[in-house]
Amino acid sequence: IYKPIPDGSVRLANLRSGDIQVGDQMVPVDVKSALTDNKLQLFNSPSLGYQGIGINVGNVKGLGQAPGHVDSPLANDVRVREAFELSIDRALINKVVFQGMYEPACGPISPESALAPGVKASQCPGRDVAKAKRLLKQAGVKTPVHVELKTSTTPEWSRIGQVIQAMAKDAGFAVTLRPTEYATMLEETDDGHYQAFNSGWSGRLDPDGNIASFLQTKGAMNAYGLSDDKIDALIERGRAEADPAERAKIYGELTRRANDAHALIYLYRQKNYVVAGQDVAGVRVYGDGLIRVKNAGYAK
């Protein structure tokens, strides 16, 4: 029996009471609490996906439509978007919000992928407030630059939003948080009614599944309105190339091009934490975040 229980602390309480046997997508604070309970066990796997911030750079008519002009400082000048990214400390977000149990990310491809371009979390650009201020000055924008950030209504994104709000202020941004019910947020961002929003993906094993739909012109999930001929060409090359080494080079270049556009700012990569009762056996957890229960049952 599958029970949707959005609140992680409620899931944990149900696990402890025995009302449920397996809790999916447990957040770090609940995982640490579960580790102190000898009636519970933990399963985990790295994630193939990512979480970040999407910026509207050209979505004026909705998904699948030709990109147009969005009148905002973030959309008008890539230097403003780069400054916004430079105001953010990925490692601090991981430490403050997730107790160091996730991993900073700065690209669409998980290190777990066989075709990962070799961009490790330790190689992500660090926070650089001085450079961010210089970029805003070069762009000639009036500060503070006002940004409305739509966030889902989870406790995690509430905390992330507050951390980003405080960090961005130091660089010259005034971030307004707009908590939005998730289904509503998807509808509004697909239609282009936003400046920035928390954008995430559960991930696919082949890198194309993490890139094409999001970054290709008129891609099925390109809510950002991004259109870049070189990115489009690299996506097609990656799909046509059979040699793994060559594909890895292509996706390395794709990652660099995507990062230079600053339309999707990758922030962190989750780990898939699953908590189960000690009497449960045979549960398997993989990088796609799906629990396999084909061989699951009760331990004898």
DSSP letters, 111-175, are TTSTT--S--GGGSPPP-HHHHHHHHHHHT--SSEEEEEEE-SSHHHHHHHHHHHHHHHHHTEEE
* Residue at 239: amino acid letter: R
Taking CA atoms, 154 is separated from 9, 180, 182, in Å, by: 12, 10, 9
Instruction: Read off the CATH number of the domain in which 24 is found.
Output: 3.40.190.10
197 and 151 within one domain: yes
- Mean pLDDT, the chain, rounded, equals 93
List of residues 6+ apart from 206 with CB closer than 8 A: 113, 115
The answer to whether residue 123 scores a pLDDT higher than 80 is no
Measured N-to-C along each axis, helices 155-171 and 90-98 cross at an angle, to the nearest 10 degrees, of 150
203 and 250 within one domain: yes
119 and 260 within one domain: yes
In-domain check, residue 2: no
In-domain check, residue 283: yes
Q: What is the mean pLDDT of residues 105-118?
A: 82
pLDDT in tens, 37-59: 999 999 999 899 999 999 999 99
172 and 57 within one domain: yes
Q: What gap in Å lies between CA 28 and CA 30, rounded to an integer?
A: 5
Range of the domain at 261: 50-269
Question: Residue 118 has what pLDDT?
Answer: 55
Closest CA relative to residue 143, chosen from 174, 112, 167, 113 = 174
In-domain check, residue 226: yes
The answer to whether residue 120 scores a pLDDT higher than 70 is no
> What tokens does 69 get?
């002009």
57 and 188 within one domain: yes
Taking CA atoms, 134 is separated from 71, 72, 79, 127, 190, in Å, by: 22, 19, 9, 14, 32
Classify the C-alpha dihedral 162-167-170-176 as positive or negative. negative
In-domain check, residue 194: yes
Taking CA atoms, 186 is separated from 137, 152, 191, 255, in Å, by: 33, 10, 8, 24
Instruction: Read off the CATH number of the domain in which 210 is found.
Output: 3.10.105.10
The answer to whether residue 121 scores a pLDDT higher than 60 is no
In-domain check, residue 3: no
Question: Residue 187 has what pLDDT?
Answer: 97
Question: Residue 125 has what pLDDT?
Answer: 83
In-domain check, residue 150: yes
Closest CA relative to residue 145, chosen from 195, 70, 190, 193 = 195
Q: What is the mean pLDDT of residues 108-128?
A: 77
145 and 252 within one domain: yes
156 and 103 within one domain: yes
The answer to whether residue 171 scores a pLDDT higher than 60 is yes
- Only one residue has tokens 């601090």, namely 92
Going by pLDDT thresholds of 50, 70 and 90, the confidence category of residue 117 is low
123 and 26 within one domain: no
223 and 85 within one domain: yes
219 and 127 within one domain: yes
Residue pair 265/215 in contact by the 8 Å Cβ criterion: no
Question: Residue 180 has what pLDDT?
Answer: 97
| Neighbour-count burial of 243, counting CB atoms closer than 10 A to its CB (0-12 exposed, 13-18 middle, 19+ buried) | exposed
Strand pairing class (145-151; 173-179): parallel
The answer to whether residue 6 scores a pLDDT higher than 90 is no
Question: Residue 300 has what pLDDT?
Answer: 72
Residue pair 115/251 in contact by the 8 Å Cβ criterion: yes
116 and 26 within one domain: no
Q: How many domains does the chain have?
A: 2
211 and 146 within one domain: yes
The answer to whether residue 271 scores a pLDDT higher than 70 is yes
In-domain check, residue 1: no
Tell me which of 101 and 125 has the higher pLDDT: 101
The answer to whether residue 162 scores a pLDDT higher than 60 is yes
List of residues 6+ apart from 275 with CB closer than 8 A: 12, 15, 22, 23, 26, 30, 31, 34, 40, 41, 42, 43
| Neighbour-count burial of 297, counting CB atoms closer than 10 A to its CB (0-12 exposed, 13-18 middle, 19+ buried) | exposed
Q: What gap in Å lies between CA 275 and CA 140, rounded to an integer?
A: 51
